[in-house]
Structure 1
Amino acid sequence: MTTDETVEKILRTYAAITVVGASAASHKPAHYVPAHMQDHGWRIVPVNPRGGTILGEPVFASLADVPEPGLVDVFRPSEQTPDVARQAVAAGATALWLQLGIASAEARRIAEDAGLLYVEDRCLIVEQRRTGLTAPRAA
């Protein structure tokens, strides 16, 4: 499957996006990218050890605390992504997406070895606009 095919499959399949590194600061990509996706119908599940509320949603302290992480979107430095990939696998995620500028051969190996759909160095906003897709209806 090509990266474009994987992107489209993810956008058509997941009604919720678990955002690791979600931010309450509106000027940061880790805030405005999930906000854009929320505006197009996706439910956002923020993960940040600081807790609180982001985009009107309660924040989970860690991936392990998220009941069904599904699609995990990562806003963390590339060197931290192998650990995030391990956590995503352990939490039962089925897809891992590293945002634009974030890539890791080790994270890719961990995710793909566990059967997760995997995308790196791509922005959800760019891909949502390119495909014109909106969130699938929750089952």
Structure 2
Amino acid sequence: MARDGLTDDQVCDLLLRTRRIAVVGASDKPGRPSNGVFGFLLQRGYDATPVNPVLNGRAVHGVPGVATLEEAGPLDMVDVFRRSEDAGHVVDEAIRLGAKSIWLQLGIWDDSAAERARAAGILIVMDRCPAIEWGRLGLPSCVPA
């Protein structure tokens, strides 16, 4: 079982029922993983918003970036591309803003923040990438309408 304790069925359900995703730490630089994953999410039909104060107003894959997580709402999922030591602050803000789920990317985990999210009734994924999980789970080419 993965470090986050989630089953394949839980991850699959999350990916298929999510519609809106705020990608914290998104980059407009094509070589960055956050740029590639953001493009992947758009290709799969998600309504995704890049969140990064550096990007404020600049587009990533044609979608204007916003400076804060609050500007990206409403939040189904918050996908986090930040270092583990910075993830807890993003998790706390996602909780405060009423996110339904939080996804910490590969190499990112914060057990304390995960406990806070779970206590708030929020599903949290850690140390995984939705693009990798999508292929591993054999999901369809796009999210169902």
On whether the aligned pair clears a TM of 0.5, the verdict is yes
Following the alignment from structure 2 to structure 1, what is the Cα–Cα distance between the partners of residues 21 and 35? 13
- State how 1:31-110 maps to structure 2 within 5 Å: 31-50=35-54, 51=56, 52-110=58-116
Q: Which residue of 2 aligns with 1:123?
A: 129
Contact 1:66–1:91 (CA<8 Å) still a contact in 2?
A: no
For 1:33, the aligned partner's letter is: V
Q: Which ranges of 4 or more aligned residues in structure 1 deviate by more than 6 Å?
A: none
- Secondary structure of 1:34's counterpart equals helix
RMSD (CA atoms)? 1.4
Following the alignment from structure 2 to structure 1, what is the Cα–Cα distance between the partners of residues 125 and 31? 24
Q: Which runs of 5+ in 1 are unaligned?
A: none
Q: Deviations over 1:3-49 (max 9, x none)?
A: 32321121111122210000001101010011112112222111111
- Secondary structure of 2:103's counterpart equals strand
Question: In the TM superposition, what is the alpha-carbon distance from 1:54 to its structure 2 partner?
Answer: 1.2
Aligned-residue identity in percent: 38
Following the alignment from structure 1 to structure 2, what is the Cα–Cα distance between the partners of residues 76 and 34? 14
Question: In the TM superposition, what is the alpha-carbon distance from 1:90 to its structure 2 partner?
Answer: 1.1
Following the alignment from structure 1 to structure 2, what is the Cα–Cα distance between the partners of residues 115 and 135? 24
Following the alignment from structure 1 to structure 2, what is the Cα–Cα distance between the partners of residues 117 and 9? 11
Q: Which residue of 2 aligns with 1:26?
A: 30
Following the alignment from structure 1 to structure 2, what is the Cα–Cα distance between the partners of residues 118 and 5? 14
Q: Which runs of 5+ in 2 are unaligned?
A: none
Question: In the TM superposition, what is the alpha-carbon distance from 1:77 to its structure 2 partner?
Answer: 0.2
Total equivalences in the alignment: 137
